[in-house]
A and B are shown apart, each in its own frame.
Chain A
Amino acid sequence: MLLAIDSSTGTSVAVVDLAGGILAEQAIDDTMSHAEVVGALLGDTLREAGVVPADLSAVACGMGPGPFTGLRIGIAAARAFAFGAGKPVVPLVSHDAVAFAWYSAGNEGDLLVETDARRKELYWSAYAGLSAAGLPVRVGGPGLARPEDVPESTGTRLEAAAVSAGALGMLAELTWAAGNDFAADEPLYLRSPDVSISSRKRVTS
Chain B
Amino acid sequence: MNGVDRAAPLVLGIETSCDETGIGIVRGRSLLSNTIASSMDEHARYGGVVPEVAARAHLEALVPALTAAVAEAGITLDELDAIAVTSGPGLSGALMVGVGAAKALSVALDKPIYAVNHLVGHVGADILDESGTPFEYPTIALLVSGGHTSLLLVRDLVSDVELLGETIDDAAGEAFDKVARLLGLPYPGGPEIDRLAAVGNQTAIRFPRGLTHPKDMAKHRYDFSFSGLKTSVARWVEKQQDLGNEVPVADVAASFREAVADVLLTKAIAACADHGVPRLLLGGGVVANARVRELAAERAAAAGVALRIPPLSLCTDNGAMIAELGAQLIMAGHAPSTLDFPADSTLPVTEIQVH
Contact = CB atoms under 8 A, between A and B. Distances in A.
A197 B100 CA distance: 29
Contacts of B55: 68-69, 72
A139 B338 CA distance: 44
B306 interface: no
A39 to B, nearest CB: 3
A187 B62 CA distance: 14
Contacts of A21: none
B63 A83 contact: yes
A203 B231 contact: yes
A76 B238 contact: no
Contacts of A76: 58-59, 62, 96-98, 100-101, 104
B100 A53 contact: no
A170 interface: no
B52 A68 contact: yes
Interface string A11-54: 00000000000000000000000111111101100100000010
Interface in B98-127: 98-109, 113
A29 B46 CA distance: 35
Interface stretch (B161-169, B283-291, B327-335, B339-347): B339-347
A30 B45 CA distance: 35
Contact of B59 (A84, A86, A187): A187
**Secondary structure dominating the interface of B:** helix
A199 B197 CA distance: 24
Contact of B182 (A75, A194, A197, A200): A200
B101 A79 contact: yes
B203 interface: no
Contact of A83 (B48, B66, B234, B342): B66
A200 B105 contact: no
A71 B342 CA distance: 16
B182 A80 contact: no
A166 to B, nearest CB: 18
B234 A202 contact: yes
Contacts of A37: 340
B62 A80 contact: yes
Interface size class of B (residues with CB under 8 A): 35 or more
Contact of B340 (A36, A69, A81, A203): A36
Nearest to A37: B340
B48 A84 contact: no
A37 B92 CA distance: 16
B352 to A, nearest CB: 20
Given A189-B56, A195-B50, A39 B107 contact: yes
A78 interface: yes
B47 A198 contact: yes
A96 B201 CA distance: 64
Contacts of B52: 68, 193-195
B131 to A, nearest CB: 33
Contacts of B48: 198
Contacts of B342: 35-36
B181 interface: yes
Interface in B184-238: 231, 234-235, 238
Contact of B100 (A74, A187, A193, A200): A74
B66 A43 contact: no
A46 B101 contact: no
A84 B104 contact: yes
Interface in B139-181: 181
A35 B46 contact: no
A21 B342 CA distance: 32
A80 B93 contact: no
Contacts of A35: 95-96, 99-100, 342-343
Closest 6 CB pairs of A and B: A39-B103, A84-B108, A39-B339, A193-B52, A80-B101, A77-B104
Given A72-B93, A193-B53, A198-B47, 12 more contacts: A42-B104, A42-B107, A53-B108, A68-B52, A76-B59, A76-B96, A80-B66, A80-B101, A80-B104, A83-B67, A83-B105, A204-B235
Interface of A: 34-40, 42-43, 46, 53, 68-69, 72-86, 187, 189, 193-195, 197-198, 200, 202-204
13 contacts: A35-B96, A38-B100, A40-B339, A72-B59, A72-B97, A76-B104, A78-B104, A79-B59, A80-B108, A195-B46, A195-B52, A198-B48, A204-B239
